Structures are given as C-alpha cells and as structure tokens.
C-alpha cells in the first residue's frame, strides 16, 4: 500500500511540473511606458494621446498548448499602487497568441481597432508605468509569478521595449535594428526587410571569379527574393578580392575578407569570403613569341636568318618539384589538327625548374631542351590573336594553354607570378624576350644559361651550354655576338688527364 501512494505522489508531481512548464510559456513580450507626444503616442487608437492610458503590457504564449489565464493578474511594483488588473474568468491564450492590457481609454473604440484580445485598465496599469525604471509582473491565481519584465532608463525613449526574437530574446528598443516603428501592441514587431549578399560564406581559389546575388529577406513572409535594381558592391579588402562588372568578385590573393552592397542608402549583410592559394600547375606555357622583330633582332633561333614563322617560339616550363617526362606531348596552336602539331620525342624529360623551347623551324642545334618544328608552330602563330596549347599524349587533354590578342612586334608574351600573361616588357622592363630562361614571374630562380649535363661512358661530361646568348659577352672580347658568344663547356670527371686531340 505504501508503494502505491508513493507512485501516486510522484505521478502527481510530474503532472504539476508539466502544467507549470506550459504556463511559463506565457511571457511578457512588450512593455510601453513612455508614449511620445502628439498623435504618435496614441497607442490604444482611441483618438486621444494620454500619458498613462496609452501605456500597455503585451503577453505572448510561446508554447504549444492553450493556457487558461482567467484570474491571473498584471501589475507594477510601485509601493502604494492600486490593485492589479485581473483577467476575467475563462480568458484563454492560444499558442502564438498575443494579449494586450492598456492603461485605459475608450474601451469600445479600442476593442474595435484591434483584432486580438485587448483589455483596458481603469486609467493606469498599477500605479502607472515609470519611464525611468519599473517592473511588471504576471501572477497566476495561486500567487506564483509566471513572468516579469524590469527596465531602467531605457523605458523613457518614446517607444516600447520588446523581446527580440519574439517571446524568447533579450529586451531591445522597438526601433532597434532590424525593427521599425515605436510599438506594436497585439502583433509581432514590424521589422525592416534584411538585405543579404548571397551566399553568406564562400571559398574561392586565387584567380577565380564568381557573381554574388543581392537579395532581400522579408521577416514578415519569410521569403527571399533577388534585388533587380542596381546596387553598389564593395570589397572590404581589394588586395584579396576585387569587384568587377557589377556583382562579379575576383579572388586576387589568399586571405579572408568580406563583400557586401549598398542599396537605397542601406548596407547589406556581408558575404564572408575566404580565398585559398592556387595550386601551382606542374607544366605551364611560360613564354610565347608570335611576332619576331625585323632584321637581325628577329633572328631568335640564332640560325643567321630572320624568318616570320621559324623564329617564333613557345617555351614550356616545369614548375613542379619533380622531373616530368613530356615525351609524346603535343604543342601548337588550337587552329591546327593534332597531326600538324609538334610532338615531343619519347623520353623527353623536363627537369624541375627547367624550360624547353620549340622554335617554328630553322637550322637550330636540337637537344632535349631546344626543338624546331617543320617551319611553323601549328598553323603559325597569329600576330592578332591565338591560343597556344600543350596537349597530353592522347592529343585531346589540355595540359596547359595561353591566349593572347594583338601581339607587339619583337615582344613576347610572358607569364607573371600570378599566372597571367602580359607583354614581356610590361613585367620585365629591360627585356623584350627571355627565350630559354625561367624568369622571376614563374616563381623560380632563373638559370643564367641553358645548362645540360650529359655524361658519356669515358667520364667526359657536357657541363654547360650557352646556345642563345642574350646581350651577354660570354667570351669577354668586348663585343656581344649571338654566334661568337655561344659556347660549350666540357668537364673531365676522371682523376687522370684525358686526351681529346681526336675528338670533334
């Protein structure tokens, strides 16, 4: 029998806790203690602005159950205040429903102005709500305080105090962003539509671009729509991301920044942008020379003859940390079919931080770093515009490419450190070309010459070859000559002298 009563008591306690929990879902959501002067202060809409009659307290049921509040009381805490307001019997508040108590006024007119449940006190809520600091209490029939709201000087700002978010948040001034208006008895606080730059978060790679969306979110409908009007986009760090063509954002360098827009004098929420470092490509087209200079200066391949097509060249660089076998790769422009492109011989290994050069043709001393096509590179590089491609052995996969427009005679296109192609003298002011050399724009240390080490069985090695001197007086005779200053250096790796009188 004892066990039975314990169970009953425990179940009863659980039931009481559940009901009390539902009752505490009824909260004080808005308090209006300082009606502004003039018509703006006529909160109860009875046609008369009154210091205490237009004051109000709003309660809200934030729960899922309908609660009976008949007999519950609302009042302030002033000493000597008159009796609290008591809600009539059978007053119920449904989930999500608002109930408002005004200090006083024309009851008939007030109730005709509001759709929800509205009650009117006898001229004051308690002793009247103080602008400089007060508190109101919602007390159930048994004397338990269900909800309370307390404020200080913020109550005297000619507007109400309201919870944000509704029913659960902290107390804020009614007009605080994103709110609008001075009060909103019996309904949710009116909010300004929210301007959003979409997406909210975005990761990009250096050099990428994306178009952001200017949008407006309606708090009242919960809908988001695109803004079709013109807006002003702004990047908070243009060294990381810059704005182009309206809403187009270009990732400049690795880092984090924010992008947003202004519309009708209002600023949007920002897109938080993270730019990631671009992965360095292994093989790149590092230089293209489509328009040889006139005269001897245009004899780029050093065969003694200046030729429109044969002195054109394309340079490919290996930027990776490992040698790459480019045997079977194709090189040329995109106008030519695969059978007209240059094919690198099998087992052509391009060392790390090294280049290989393809000339259009001519009597060029071919090695595994210097090659000559059959007279033209592809269809011949156009002086106006063209696309140069390095293709994988399947002749369709593009490994590297570059596009140029309107070439300048005697000046090549070079790849800068950001991977963009510019006229060579726009990057390196003193040089119009740098055939066979890796430049600082490739993020690599540029070798001074085309070096090659080819060990032969008897221990003699080619240790250095200068095939294409560029303003270098290699033989120190006081004269720069692209033919006379070319040289080959041999190294004896044996510990003994080696006779070379029969070599050539």
Is the pLDDT reported for residue 470 higher than 70?
Answer: no
Tell me the chain's radius of gyration from C-alpha atoms. 41
- The domain that holds 256 is classified in CATH as 2.60.40.1080
Peptide bond before residue 429 is cis, with ω within 30 degrees of 0:
no
**Who has greater pLDDT, 325 or 264?**
325
**C-beta atoms surrounding 162 within 10 Å:** 24
Is the pLDDT reported for residue 483 higher than 80?
Answer: no
Residue 149 and residue 32 share a domain: yes
Q: Among the three residues 256, 276, 296, which one is the final residue of a domain in this structure?
A: 276
The structure's pTM equals 0.45
Question: pLDDT-derived band of residue 444, with 50, 70 and 90 as boundaries?
Answer: very low
Q: Can you tell me which residue has the tokens 């790796």?
A: 493
**Who has greater pLDDT, 225 or 191?**
225
Is the pLDDT reported for residue 441 higher than 60?
Answer: no
Reference 174, options 192, 159, 154; nearest CA is 159
Report the share of the chain in percent with pLDDT over 90.
Answer: 65
Residue 317 and residue 452 share a domain: no
The 10s digit of each residue's pLDDT in 45-103 is 999 999 999 999 999 999 999 999 999 999 886 544 567 999 999 999 999 999 999 99
Residue 149 and residue 81 share a domain: yes
How are the residues of the chain apportioned to helix, strand and coil, as percentages rounded to the nearest 5?
Answer: 10, 35, 55
Reference 352, options 424, 447, 279; nearest CA is 447
Domain-embedded: residue 189: no
| H helix intervals, 326-476 | 424-427
Residue 294 and residue 266 share a domain: no
Mean local confidence (pLDDT), 477-491? 74
Domain-embedded: residue 388: yes
Task: Supply angle C-alpha 44, 48, 50, rounded to 5.
Answer: 80
Residue 476 and residue 417 share a domain: no
In terms of residue numbers, what domain contains 501?
448-504
Report the share of the chain in percent with pLDDT over 70.
Answer: 86
Count: domains in the chain: 4
Domain-embedded: residue 14: yes
Question: pLDDT-derived band of residue 469, with 50, 70 and 90 as boundaries?
Answer: low
Residue 458 and residue 395 share a domain: no
Residue 301 and residue 260 share a domain: no
Q: 459 and 492 in contact (C-beta within 8 Å)?
A: yes
Residue 93 and residue 30 share a domain: yes
Is the pLDDT reported for residue 36 higher than 70?
Answer: yes
Contacts (Cβ under 8 Å, ≥6 apart) of 482: 299, 302, 468, 469, 470
d(CA 328, CA 348): 8
Is the pLDDT reported for residue 1 higher than 50?
Answer: no
**Who has greater pLDDT, 446 or 215?**
215
Is the pLDDT reported for residue 303 higher than 70?
Answer: yes
d(CA 352, CA 322): 5
Domain-embedded: residue 128: yes
pLDDT of residue 337: 93
Question: pLDDT-derived band of residue 502, with 50, 70 and 90 as boundaries?
Answer: low
The 10s digit of each residue's pLDDT in 205-249 is 998 999 999 999 987 678 899 999 999 999 999 999 999 988 999
Residue 158 and residue 47 share a domain: yes
Domain-embedded: residue 188: no
pLDDT of residue 458: 59
Residue 370 and residue 290 share a domain: yes
The 10s digit of each residue's pLDDT in 250-282 is 999 999 999 999 998 889 999 999 999 988 889
- The domain that holds 385 is classified in CATH as 2.60.40.1260
Domain-embedded: residue 313: yes
Domain-embedded: residue 454: yes
Q: Among the three residues 138, 173, 208, which one is the final residue of a domain in this structure?
A: 173
Residue 157 and residue 70 share a domain: yes
In this structure, what are the phi and psi dihedrals at residue 118, rounded to the nearest 5 degrees? -130, 135
Domain-embedded: residue 185: no
Residue 201 and residue 255 share a domain: yes
Q: Among the three residues 241, 276, 311, which one is the final residue of a domain in this structure?
A: 276
């Amino acid at each position: 029998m004892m066990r039975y009563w314990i169970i009953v008591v425990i179940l009863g306690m659980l039931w009481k806790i559940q009901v009390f929990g539902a009752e505490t879902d009824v909260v004080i959501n808005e308090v209006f203690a300082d009606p502004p002067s003039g018509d703006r202060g006529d909160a109860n809409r009875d046609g008369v602005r009154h210091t205490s009659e237009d004051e109000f307290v709003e309660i809200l049921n934030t729960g899922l159950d309908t609660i009976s509040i008949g007999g519950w009381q609302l009042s302030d805490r002033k000493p000597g205040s008159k009796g609290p307001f008591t809600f009539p019997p059978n007053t119920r508040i449904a989930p999500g429903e608002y109930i408002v108590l005004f200090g006083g006024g024309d009851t008939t007119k007030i109730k005709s102005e509001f759709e929800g449940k509205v009650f009117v006190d006898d001229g004051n809520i308690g002793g009247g709500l103080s602008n400089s600091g007060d508190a109101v209490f919602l007390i159930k029939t048994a004397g338990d305080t269900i909800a309370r709201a307390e404020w200080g000087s913020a109550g005297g700002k000619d507007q109400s105090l309201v919870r944000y978010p509704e029913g659960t948040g902290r107390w804020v001034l009614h007009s605080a962003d994103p709110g609008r208006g001075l009060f909103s008895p019996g309904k949710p606080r009116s909010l300004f539509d929210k301007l959003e730059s979409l997406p909210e978060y975005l990761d990009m790679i250096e050099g990428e671009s994306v178009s952001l969306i200017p949008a407006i979110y309606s708090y009242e409908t919960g809908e988001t729509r695109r803004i079709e009007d013109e807006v002003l986009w702004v990047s908070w760090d243009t060294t990381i991301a810059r704005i182009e063509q309206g809403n187009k954002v270009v990732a400049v360098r690795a880092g984090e920044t924010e992008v947003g827009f202004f519309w009708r004098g209002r600023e949007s929420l920002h897109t938080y942008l993270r730019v990631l470092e671009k992965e360095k490509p292994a093989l790149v087209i590092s230089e293209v020379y489509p328009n040889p200079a006139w005269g001897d200066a245009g004899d780029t391949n050093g065969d003694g003859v200046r030729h429109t097509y044969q002195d054109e060249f394309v340079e490919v660089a290996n930027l990776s940390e490992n040698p790459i076998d480019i045997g079977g790769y194709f090189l040329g422009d995109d106008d030519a079919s695969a059978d007209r492109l240059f094919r690198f011989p099998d087992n052509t290994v391009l060392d790390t931080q090294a280049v290989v050069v393809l000339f259009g043709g001519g009597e060029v001393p071919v090695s595994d770093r210097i090659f000559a096509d059959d007279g033209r590179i592809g269809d011949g590089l156009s002086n106006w515009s063209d696309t140069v491609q390095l293709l994988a052995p399947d002749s369709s996969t593009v490994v590297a490419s570059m596009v140029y427009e309107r070439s300048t005679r005697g000046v090549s296109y070079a790849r800068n450190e950001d991977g963009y192609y510019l006229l060579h003298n726009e990057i390196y002011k003193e040089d119009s070309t740098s055939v066979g050399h890796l430049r600082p724009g490739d993020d690599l240390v540029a070798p001074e010459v085309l070096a090659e080490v080819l060990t032969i069985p008897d221990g003699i090695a080619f240790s250095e070859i200068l095939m294409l001197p560029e303003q270098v007086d290699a033989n120190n005779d006081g004269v720069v000559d692209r033919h006379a200053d070319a040289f080959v250096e041999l190294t004896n790796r044996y510990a003994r002298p080696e006779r070379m009188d029969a070599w050539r």
